[in-house]
Amino acid sequence: MSLPIQPQYVLPPVMVAVLLLLLFWLPDSWKLHFVFVRSDIEAGEWWRIITGQWMHWRFSHLAFNIAGIAMIWFLFAEHAPTRRYLLLLAVTTIGCMLGTYLFADSITQYVGFSGALYGMFAWGAVRDIRAKRYLAWLLLAIILGKVSFDYFVGPMSLGSTNADVLATPTHFFGVLSGIALALIQRTPSVHKHPAS
């Protein structure tokens, strides 16, 4: 197995991770202007639908999300050269937050990148299925099972994570956004890369 290490596959996730790190170091008083806050969105601050995904309060949360970005690159990079990655990023970040805003009144505030990550994982699984990698069916079933259970039944506890703070609707709508994008995109041949 060779990993795609050409710039068009590596730079997008690295740039996202760096941007998340830079935004994390903003003063908290600045971050407050970008957090998803339902009442502020309803008062006309619509940009919070997009920017809430990019904010983090705790470094551990940010590190976990950056690890997810790395895992997505490791598993699915060959499906996402620069333009496709940026489209995926836009669709999953906006889709999960728009879904949350429209259909999950219980979420009044939100920070973190996990909704987009769930969408990117689901997108990658569908792309792998379309590339005839049938083990991806298992990954897709696990993702769908987890977010559906969390959304319709209640969040599963993941070790020391406090399940009450998980924004399960955001994860659910992220997955729906990722799957929808994967299904409407045409399927180009997967790029094979020489071993480096």
156 pLDDT above the threshold of 60:
yes
CA distance to 21, 24, 116, 159, per residue, from 99 (Å): 26, 24, 12, 27
Q: Tokens representing 196?
A: 């480096």
Residue-wise pLDDT tens digits, 92-149: 999 999 999 999 999 999 999 999 999 999 999 999 999 999 999 999 999 999 999 9
71 pLDDT above the threshold of 70:
yes
**Which H or E element spans position 169?**
helix 168-184
Beta bridge partners of 140: none
Query: What is the DSSP secondary structure assignment for residue 58, as one 8-state letter?
Result: S
Position 189 scores a pLDDT of: 52
Q: Please give the Cα distance from 194 to 196 (Å, whole number).
A: 6
Q: Please give the Cα distance from 130 to 182 (Å, whole number).
A: 9
Dihedral sign computed on CA atoms, order 23, 25, 30, 34:
positive
Residue-wise pLDDT tens digits, 44-59: 999 999 999 999 999 9
pLDDT band at 3 (very low <50, low <70, confident <90, very high): confident
Could you say which architecture CATH assigns to the domain 7-184? Up-down Bundle (1.20)
Per-state percent for the chain, helix, strand, coil, to nearest 5: 65, 0, 30
Position 196 scores a pLDDT of: 43
193 pLDDT above the threshold of 90:
no
| Cβ-count burial 30-53 (b if 16+ within 10 Å, e if not) | ebeebbbbbebbeeeeeebbebbb
Q: Determine the residue type at 19.
A: L
Position 54 scores a pLDDT of: 97
Residue-wise pLDDT tens digits, 16-47: 999 999 999 999 999 999 999 999 999 999 99
Where do the domains of the chain lie? 7-184
